[in-house]
Amino acid sequence: MIWSKDRWNSIGRTAARHVLGASLLVLGITSASVLATAQQPNSSAAPKGGAAAPAASAQPSWVKLCVKNEQTGNKQICLIQHETFDPNMGIVMVYAAIRTVEGDPQKQFIVRMPTVYSLVMPTGAQVVVDKEQPTPMAFSVCFPASCQADMELTDDLLAKMRSGQQMVVAAMNVQKKTMAFPVPLTGFSAAFDGPPTDTAAYEQQRRQTIEMYRQRQQELAAKARQGQAGGAQQPGAAQQPGAAPQQ
């Protein structure tokens, strides 16, 4: 075990503040908004801006995506997944999923965390549901934007996810700091047991969400440039205290 039970309790209490602070509240709402829209493809478009938050907060944050074709051997393969976005950078902060294959009793549990945090691969990751015992996971592969840890899903972990309120995915970075990523479990059982989500509608809304983040980044960058330009134009802004008078 990488972390003691006391340390895990501390991580569980402060996970939101430890990684992203209050912005994680926004992340959960935004992810839920994507899933809610995908699950209701015939409904009208969600309101723009802050008006979408109250409706999204009541929606589940897990989605079930399935595919069945010749490439899968005509077997239905499903991912019951959750992803949390960082509204400032527009990247996926944490991804958790269960992969099922039609006719196969074994299920794969997958988590991914961003490479931007320089995670230490040998120490692996750990997952804890509420205040239960942590489950260790080994990293198996890294992509340009994230590293993945996976394991065979046990009946015990599945039961904990069904009955739990929050799951925390944690790993250690090169500075030996614990990076903890909260994953809400609200709506997990409904997604796991329910019918697949409309994949096309989900992907469309996800693209719209990512584009919204990109526009927000551009707006913030423009405001920052304006602020820098305004400060440079202030009378005496370039004058340093105690500077020698011009000759």
Whether the predicted pLDDT of 138 surpasses 80 = yes
**Mean pLDDT on 11-27:** 39
More confident residue, 114 or 217: 114
- The pair of structure tokens assigned to 175 is 């500075």
Per-residue DSSP letter, 39: H
- Residues 6 or more apart whose Cβ sits within 8 Å of residue 94: 83, 84, 111, 112, 113, 169, 181, 182, 183
Tell me, what's the pLDDT at 44? Answer: 32
Quickly state the pLDDT bin for 140 (edges 50, 70, 90). Answer: very high
Give the DSSP H or E segment for 202: helix 199-232
Tell me, what's the pLDDT at 235? Answer: 57
**Mean pLDDT on 36-63:** 41
In the block, which residue shows the tokens 């340093």? 240
- The pair of structure tokens assigned to 204 is 């469309």
- Residues 6 or more apart whose Cβ sits within 8 Å of residue 181: 15, 19, 84, 93, 94, 113, 168, 169, 170
For 71-80, the pLDDT digits (tens) are 888 899 999 9
Query: According to DSSP H, which parts of 114-198 are helical?
Result: 155-163, 188-193
Candidate from 64-73, 95-104, 166-175 with smallest mean pLDDT: 64-73
Q: What is the pTM of this model?
A: 0.67
Tell me, what's the pLDDT at 232? Answer: 62
In the block, which residue shows the tokens 């999204």? 56
The pLDDT > 70 percentage for the chain reads: 69
Quickly state the pLDDT bin for 81 (edges 50, 70, 90). Answer: very high
Bridge partners of residue 85, in order along the sequence: 92
d(CA 147, CA 150): 10
For the segment(s) 5-226, the CATH number from 2.60.40.1880, 3.40.50.2300, 1.10.10.1110, 1.10.287.130 is 2.60.40.1880
Cα dist from 224 to 20, 27, 89, 211, 231, whole Å? 21, 23, 15, 20, 11
For 39-51, the pLDDT digits (tens) are 433 333 333 333 3
d(CA 29, CA 36): 10
Tell me, what's the pLDDT at 31? Answer: 39
Which of 137, 182, 136 has its CA nearest to residue 14? Answer: 182
Whether the predicted pLDDT of 214 surpasses 70 = yes
